[in-house]
Amino acid sequence: MSVIPNFAGNFLGTAASVASYPAMGSPFGTWIKPGGRIAAFVRSTGAQDGDDLFAASGMLVQSINEGLKRCRSGFNDIVFVLPGHTETYSTSGAVWANLVAGAQIIGCGVPGATNNPNITLSNTGASIALNVAGCTIGGLNINSATAAVTGAVVITGAGVSVCGNFFSFTGALGANAPIQLTGGANANISANLIVADSTAALINVTNAASTNFTIAGNLLRQTQGTSGGVGVNVANTAGISGWIHRNLYKTATDGTPQSLAVVIGAGAITTVGAFENYGTDAEGGSGILSPVANDGT
């Protein structure tokens, strides 16, 4: 039985279980859920010499927003973003105005590679706002060198998946987390590599409507060397619920091998579980099982 590898090298499921898992892209193939279709291919440079029929068929567009215009709401249609595609968002606000429920934005490449589809946020207010139900982003490079980006990725829609992406934020974010779950139920944030300079958490969970989430298998590297935040933070808010497991967190502060990978606010202790999260300091070496603040484990 075939398996679906994720970015962190773990396994997210089998071919038999793919019907319950969002469509995902990888160098090994992409699953399209029943009822969905390929809505568009996206490449900023347009058609190239040697392109096959997809380029001549009208399915090739030059921006993700153009591809999203072709998605049917609620059908899990896929926008494939091709190697070499680049987009820079230089204005404030949600970058994908045409996002619809169930849309899957899938990069066709290897996350982190220079030719992988690359999304750049160059305005402090530019935001990948995942505010509709069931949408997925996977296999993308998402980066910014801009300081104080306030809402790089904000999840408010139900059933949103952010899986298998490479996030790199070299600008000082201050107290802003690069990934924020602020009310979307059943979110899945898994198998991402997240590198950021932030005094806040790299993944921040707030809002009582953030229920039944999964945060798993992420590689988290904090580059803020003096007052960097934890890997995953859950607000002190009753009603928040979910699982946080198998995340690896590396702090940039030397000599603190037990830096917290996870902090759970007292209001969410009874409804949020965390296990097998590892942390290490900037000196490298093997990660150690990281303590989890406030949850009694």
Does residue 14 have a pLDDT over 60? no
Q: Which of 13-17, 30-34, 117-121, 222-226 has the lowest mean pLDDT?
A: 13-17
Interatomic CA distance for residues 265 and 109, integer angstroms: 38
Interatomic CA distance for residues 131 and 284, integer angstroms: 37
This prediction has a pTM of: 0.87
Place of tokens 């987009």: 87
Does residue 18 have a pLDDT over 50? no
The per-residue pLDDT for 199 is 92
The confidence band for 231, taking pLDDT boundaries of 50, 70 and 90, is: very high
Supply 190's token pair: 């898994």
Q: How many structural domains comprise the chain? A: 1
User: CB neighbours of 61 closer than 8 A, spacing ≥ 6?
Assistant: 40, 41, 42, 67, 70
Supply 256's token pair: 């603190």
Q: Residue count of the chain, please give it.
A: 297
Higher pLDDT, 276 or 156: 156
The confidence band for 284, taking pLDDT boundaries of 50, 70 and 90, is: low
Interatomic CA distance for residues 214 and 156, integer angstroms: 14
pLDDT in tens, 136-191: 999 999 999 999 999 999 999 999 999 999 999 999 999 999 999 999 999 999 99
Mean of the per-residue pLDDT values of the chain: 84
User: What integer is the mean pLDDT of 25-32?
Assistant: 52
Residue range(s) defining the domain that contains residue 105: 3-293
The per-residue pLDDT for 21 is 40
